[in-house]
A and B are shown apart, each in its own frame.
Chain A
Amino acid sequence: MVKVIREADFGQAEECALAVLDFSATWCGPCKMLAPVLEKLSEEMKGKAEFFKVDVDENPNLAVRFAIQSIPALIFLKNGKEVGREIGFKPEAALRSTLESFLG
């Protein structure tokens, strides 16, 4: 499952061993396309990675903090520290191997 997260409870994501932050917005086409791919991967990686959706319009401070310029943007956090990011839509297989590289 991909959880919706806000600034107030962002600590949740920072505590995870591996968190995937999906910076997106309701009006963004590529984000809409990426959502089902992330949903599927989140089920596959249950217990290994937590997935969070961050709406950039509702959480402008988080968007600034992570210097988000284009969405969708995926940010990977390991214990709160950014270890990588992917900008734009990515096919399922490509994202799976990126995630596996962080789990490795």
Chain B
Amino acid sequence: MTRYDVAIIGTGPAGLEAALTVKARNKSVLLIGPADLSAKVRKAHTIQNYLGLPNVSGREMQEAFLKHLESSEIKITDEQAKNIYAMGDYFAIQTGGADAMYEAETLILATGLPQTKGLPGEDLFLGKGVSYCATCDAALYRGKKAAVVGYAPKEEDEANFLAELAGEVLYFPQYAGEVRTVPAVKVIREKPVEILGDRSVRALKTDGGEYEADGIFILRETIAPDKLVPGLEIEADRVKVTPQTETNIPGCFAAGDIAGPPYQYIKAAGQGNAAALAAVRYLAAKRKQ
């Protein structure tokens, strides 16, 4: 397996600037995130204070950023990091099933802020029936009842995958538009409000009723950083970083909104640059040993 010098998670200004800087320093880079860039970029109305791009719309910014990446020959791996393991010497990044793994010596987290707050009961039952990755945990629900809460159409694939193993799959789309799931998946257009259970998950409560389930899969665009990287230190929902963007895990850096305020596009880009340089320094020091 290729082991990259730097893996960057997130395709907002922090992740993109980090990728450009790593590449300019002649290190290999793996950039993981939506290929059409983070929603916060492409959906922005107008950004007034981005240097060199006055009163730019999200669409224009997206176009400018993609052009810059292309000219530096940086490719985006259009996947979502589901789990990241600090193995000591390197990081293992899982994007789907057991085989969808990448390796890198250093890691830069730039996934932005979670769009939604966790549901009541979500933390309590994580690992006791609540999961963020259907392809990772599906086999535990063979013949059982699973509820899937999907925040984007791409999560329909996860529900379909689950339906091959689980006894029953309920799908709760949290977006408008058509849902294309296999017939075995029951689609329910209701909003989840709470996860119920005692020792483990018992049911998903929605604004329309209560649905019994052995497992509840919550599939969002952004996974909370301490869930994504087990062992990562968090402070007030943000990754705790030093001014040099270091986290508590050696070789792991964080930049952009995930690393705390101010929540500004230009600050994110600047911090992405700092994180890339910190990662390059870390690699140099490690290889000297």
Residue numbers of A with Cβ under 8 A of B are 25, 27-30, 32-33, 36-37, 56-57, 67, 69-71, 73, 87-94
**Are the C-beta atoms of B139 and A70 separated by less than 8 Å?**
no
**Are the C-beta atoms of B129 and A30 separated by less than 8 Å?**
no
**Are the C-beta atoms of B85 and A30 separated by less than 8 Å?**
yes
**Are the C-beta atoms of B249 and A70 separated by less than 8 Å?**
no
Cα distance, A27 to B138, chains bound together (Å): 10
CB contacts (< 8 Å) of B136 on chain A: these are: 28-30
B230 touches A (CB below 8 Å): yes
Q: 13 new A-B pairs (CB below 8 Å) besides A69-B129, A88-B127, A91-B231?
A: A25-B139, A27-B139, A33-B92, A69-B127, A69-B128, A69-B140, A69-B200, A70-B128, A71-B140, A88-B230, A90-B231, A91-B85, A91-B230
CB contacts (< 8 Å) of B199 on chain A: these are: 67
CB contacts (< 8 Å) of B85 on chain A: these are: 30, 33, 89, 91
Interface size on B, residues (CB 8 A): 27
Using known A-B contacts A29-B97, A89-B230, determine if residue A70 contacts B131 with beta carbons closer than 8 Å. yes
B87 nearest in chain A by CB position: A33
Q: Per-position contact with A for B270-283: 1 when CB-CB < 8 Å, else 0?
A: 00000000000000
Q: Per-position contact with A for B107-130: 1 when CB-CB < 8 Å, else 0?
A: 000000000000000000011110
CB contacts (< 8 Å) of A28 on chain B: these are: 98, 136, 139
Show 17 A/B contacts (Cβ-Cβ < 8 Å), sorted by A.
Answer: A27-B98, A27-B139, A28-B139, A29-B94, A29-B97, A29-B98, A29-B136, A30-B94, A32-B98, A37-B88, A67-B128, A70-B129, A70-B131, A73-B127, A88-B230, A91-B86, A91-B231
B201 touches A (CB below 8 Å): yes
CB contacts (< 8 Å) of A87 on chain B: these are: 126-128
Cα distance, A92 to B230, chains bound together (Å): 11
Using known A-B contacts A90-B231, A91-B231, determine if residue A29 contacts B101 with beta carbons closer than 8 Å. yes
CB contacts (< 8 Å) of A70 on chain B: these are: 126-129, 131, 137, 140
**Are the C-beta atoms of B201 and A69 separated by less than 8 Å?**
yes
Cα distance, A25 to B136, chains bound together (Å): 11
A25 nearest in chain B by CB position: B139
CB contacts (< 8 Å) of B230 on chain A: these are: 88-91, 94
Cα distance, A32 to B209, chains bound together (Å): 38
